[in-house]
Amino acid sequence: MSKNSLVALLLTFLLTAVSSSQAQQPKKFPRIGYLAASDPATESTRSEPFRMALRELGYREGQNIAIEYRYSGGNRDRAPELVAELVRLKVDIIVVSAGDTWIEAVKNATKTTPIVMGGTGSDPVAAGFVESLARPGGNVTGLTNLTGELGGKRLELLKEAVPKVIRVAVLHDPATQASVQQVREVLPVTARAWG
């Protein structure tokens, strides 16, 4: 299942809860706020699979769901303004298809609207967005890459899947801090523990 499908499935669950709690108000269907740090053309590689996954789950824009898109065009300074627009529109859920700055801006703007991280940003526990991965608490949920933090777990899973493996090569980008941290700090600890 792709990240976008997983986010759409999570949204379906949340939207079902919202829809059933608003059953007395006919013709009002759930509204998703979609916040992106880029522009519509650049973001289409992420937003189109998201829309397709929603369609596969029976949601059609303009028929039984509305999506309010907000794009900053790469300008981080617009985060508070765009978030405020979505909060004023009283969307049912805000999907954040951007990094920590954007998640933090949404979290600071609302304590009640569910916030769904779209798979970007850093460790949500370390950033203070959630209490723990197992029990997030608050109104933030979703996906995160946790690329560096999960390196050791990935190595463990590889060892469990292929018990006889004794040597593993890791390609990484030395210009990316998370990649360097994973190769220098995380993977060696796990590798030593697994022999």
Per-run averaged pLDDT (10 residues), the chain, 195 residues:
58 58 63 90 83 90 92 89 94 90 91 87 83 86 72 84 89 76 83 83
Distance CA 192, CA 195 (A): 5
CATH number (3.30.530.20, 3.40.50.2300, 3.40.1160.10, 2.60.120.380) of 3-143 reads 3.40.50.2300
**Other residues' Cβ atoms within 10 Å of the Cβ of residue 72:** 19
pLDDT score recorded for residue 69:
93
Give residue-wise pLDDT tens across range 168-179: 888 877 777 777
Residues of the chain with CATH 3.40.50.2300: 3-143
Q: What are phi and psi of 116, to 5 degrees?
A: -115, 115
pTM above 0.85, yes or no: no
